[in-house]
Amino acid sequence: MSANSGRYPISERLKTPIAIVSERGAVEWSNAAFEATFGDDAGGWLTDASRAVAGESGWLQGFFVDADELRSIDVDIEGRTYRIDKIMHVDDYDSPSVALWFEDVTRQREAEQAKSDFTAQIVHDLRGPLSGIQGTLEFVLSQEGTKLDPLNSDLLTEAKRESERMMGLINEIMDFSKIQSGSFAVEQEPVRVAGLLKRAVRSLQSVASRDEVFLLSAHGRDVPQIIGSVEKLTQAVINLISNSLKFTPKKGLISVGAQILRKGDVAEAIVITVTDSGMGIKATELQQIWDKYKQSGNKSLRGGGGTGLGLYIVKQVVEAHGGEVTVASVEGVGTSMVLKLPVKRAA
Amino acid sequence: MTPMSTLSPPKAPPVPDWSRLVADSIVQHGAWHTYMKLVEARGRYPDDLSRLGYTEILRNMIVRDFLHHPKGMQAMPKLTPEFLSNFDRFNLTAQEGYLVSLIDGRLDLQKLLLLSPFDHFTTLFNLAKLQHERAITVPQ
């Protein structure tokens, strides 16, 4: 540091630790805040971060992969969590170097964890009584001998439907809470995609019939298996179909398809599509629909708003499987949600 | 001879504004023409997921229009005289050929869906294609 003192006068005075670090973890320059925070120990953990350990790349290596990429990573250092951002690549030293910005996010992370724990507890407490209400309504409605007049029967059916909707919202909040806290793990089990789509379509067929919307499967049986979570992927497809049902008018059509993307003769990925003949999405809104709390500017045809988390959760599920999502839409014609999932094979 | 170092790797073509292109094409040329153009574009944009999504929107639109027949699932497709007298002209796929073999003018859509070995959407799409190519007609 002293050799370079005065070289970066503005950075020198900033209260956030900044350092220029070489590919091998040597500190080429640092400001006073960096030295005050990390002292002389920085060389040790920076050198460790520059090496691959047990086949895993050190986090510092990631900053040197692409000179143009602005990478950010959260790292635990000496009992605190720092968000490390790459400011720029620096060519002034003997070996390639990067200027790094170290922001202490320990309190922010603790607050996020506390919020996540609180949400998980609330969700858990809400699900118990709601399950009881659902069970009671199902029991009353399923009693063949019960004489319910048509009005009461309709009211109970509506109560059951709304309780199902509320359970869906609570589940969305729970999934969101898990995503936020980083505890959203994806199981590694064989997933038969054709069966998964069949179950998802079947589970919403009665809702589609009630709304006078055609809901059709559009895939053959020869869809290869993938590795992942049957439960989370099924829920993702159900979320997409439910979303389409909100915006598809009577006599409309929702199709659920699967196609295989091949490289030569090898199946590389499966593309699942949920396509509707709804009102479509404005071109200006297309890029934001996967964001959290983002809801379409279009009004649902069947009432009942949501949390605005459904599509965000779908995207997180697909990305947790190493896949990607996109959306195609033509206003007044329809929308297609596209999920691409890699076909992983056992090693 | 061009030195190797000056050769740049092949670049993927820029992704078109599918939303606008498809919307305009539907208005000007109709669903079938737009669908065929999107299928043609597969060679140029094989990995473009958006193109795939727009293709599905068109397939969905075509099947929905086919289902809007006044008789709904009770509509009875039959082979056209043109097909019966000149079927060599029609370049049918294996799936279309199989479906044609089921059509006798007495089976309605509901029964054809039950007899077809393909999923319902594919069966309806192929029937819509046969109707578009005038191999079958669905009287009102």
Q: Which residues of B touch A330 (CB under 8 A)?
A: 19, 22-23, 26, 54, 57
How far does B133 lie from chain A, in Å, by closest CA? 22
Quick check: A118 contacting B, CB < 8 Å?
A: no
pLDDT of A294 strictly over 80: no
Quick one: closest CA in B to A252, which residue? B64
Mutate which of A248, A254, A275, A326 to test chain B, going by most B C-beta atoms within 10 A?
A275
Percent of chain B with pLDDT strictly greater than 90: 69
pLDDT of B108 strictly over 90: yes
Quick check: A330 contacting B, CB < 8 Å?
A: yes
Mutate which of A217, A284, A336, A341 to test chain B, going by most B C-beta atoms within 10 A?
A336
Nearest to A283 among B19, B57, B67 (CB): B19
Residue A278: pLDDT band with limits 50, 70, 90: very high
Q: Do A218 and B68 touch (CB under 8 A)?
A: no
Quick check: A198 contacting B, CB < 8 Å?
A: no
Give the residue-averaged pLDDT of A109-126. 84
Quick check: A244 contacting B, CB < 8 Å?
A: no
- Between residues B95 and A165, which one has the greater pLDDT? B95
Query: What is the model's pLDDT at position A1?
Result: 46
Q: Which residues of A touch B50 (CB under 8 A)?
A: 326, 328, 338
Query: What is the model's pLDDT at position A289?
Result: 87
Task: Please give the model's pTM, rounded to 2 decimal places.
Answer: 0.72
Q: Which residues of B touch A271 (CB under 8 A)?
A: 49, 52
Chain B, 15-44: which have a CB under 8 Å from a chain A CB? Answer: 18-20, 22-23, 26
Give the residue-averaged pLDDT of A266-285. 92
Query: What is the model's pLDDT at position A293?
Result: 65
Mutate which of B52, B67, B73 to test chain A, going by most A C-beta atoms within 10 A?
B52
Query: What is the model's pLDDT at position A303?
Result: 58
How far does A64 lie from chain B, in Å, by closest CA? 22
pLDDT of A8 strictly over 60: yes
Quick one: closest CA in B to A324, which residue? B49
Quick check: A166 contacting B, CB < 8 Å?
A: no
pLDDT of A6 strictly over 70: no
- Lowest pLDDT segment from A34-38, A231-235, A238-242, A295-299: A295-299
What residue segments make up the domains of chain B, in order of their start?
Answer: 18-67, 72-137
Query: What is the model's pLDDT at position B31?
Result: 96
Q: Do B119 and A330 touch (CB under 8 A)?
A: no
Query: What is the model's pLDDT at position A197?
Result: 93
The overall average pLDDT reported for chain A is 84
Q: Are A103 and A116 in contact (CB under 8 A)?
A: no
Give the residue-averaged pLDDT of B98-103. 93
Interface A-B, measured as beta-carbon pairs within 8 A, has a size of 96
Give the residue-averaged pLDDT of A328-338. 95
Nearest to B19 among A216, A324, A329 (CB): A329
Q: In a 3-state reduction of DSSP, which class is residue B117?
A: coil
pLDDT tens-digit profile of B111-133? 999 999 999 999 999 999 999 99
Quick check: A275 contacting B, CB < 8 Å?
A: yes
pLDDT of A346 strictly over 60: no
pLDDT of B5 strictly over 70: no
Q: Do A338 and B49 touch (CB under 8 A)?
A: yes
Query: What is the model's pLDDT at position B11?
Result: 60
pLDDT of A11 strictly over 50: yes
Chain A, 284-313: which have a CB under 8 Å from a chain B CB? Answer: 286
pLDDT tens-digit profile of A54-94? 666 788 888 887 766 667 888 888 889 999 998 888 888 88
For chain A, what is the HEC assignment? CHHHCCCCHHHHHCCCCEEEEECCCCEEEECHHHHHHHHHHHHHHHHHHCCCECCECCHHHHCCCCCCCCCEEEEEECCEEEEEEEEEEECCCCCCEEEEEEEECHHHHHHHHHHHHHHHHHHHHHHHHHHHHHHHHHHHHHCCCCCCCHHHHHHHHHHHHHHHHHHHHHHHHHHHHHHHHCCCCCCCEEEEHHHHHHHHHHHHHHHHHHCCCEEEEECCCCCCEEEECHHHHHHHHHHHHHHHHHHCCCCCEEEEEEEEEEECCEEEEEEEEEEECCCCCCHHHHHHCCCCCCCCCCCCCCCCCCCCCHHHHHHHHHHHCCCEEEEEEECCCEEEEEEEEECCCCC
How far does B110 lie from chain A, in Å, by closest CA? 13
Q: Are A129 and A166 in contact (CB under 8 A)?
A: no
Quick check: A11 contacting B, CB < 8 Å?
A: no
Quick one: closest CA in A to B42, which residue? A261
pLDDT tens-digit profile of A152-201? 888 988 898 888 888 888 888 888 887 877 767 788 889 999 999 999 99
Q: Do A220 and B119 touch (CB under 8 A)?
A: yes
Quick check: B65 contacting A, CB < 8 Å?
A: no
| Angstrom distances, CA of residue A279 to CA of A250, A282, A300 | 12, 9, 10
Quick one: closest CA in A to B21, which residue? A330
Mutate which of B32, B38, B64, B124 to test chain A, going by most A C-beta atoms within 10 A?
B64
Residue A14: pLDDT band with limits 50, 70, 90: confident
How far does A269 lie from chain B, in Å, by closest CA? 11
Name residue, tokens 């039950």.
B114
Query: What is the model's pLDDT at position B2?
Result: 39
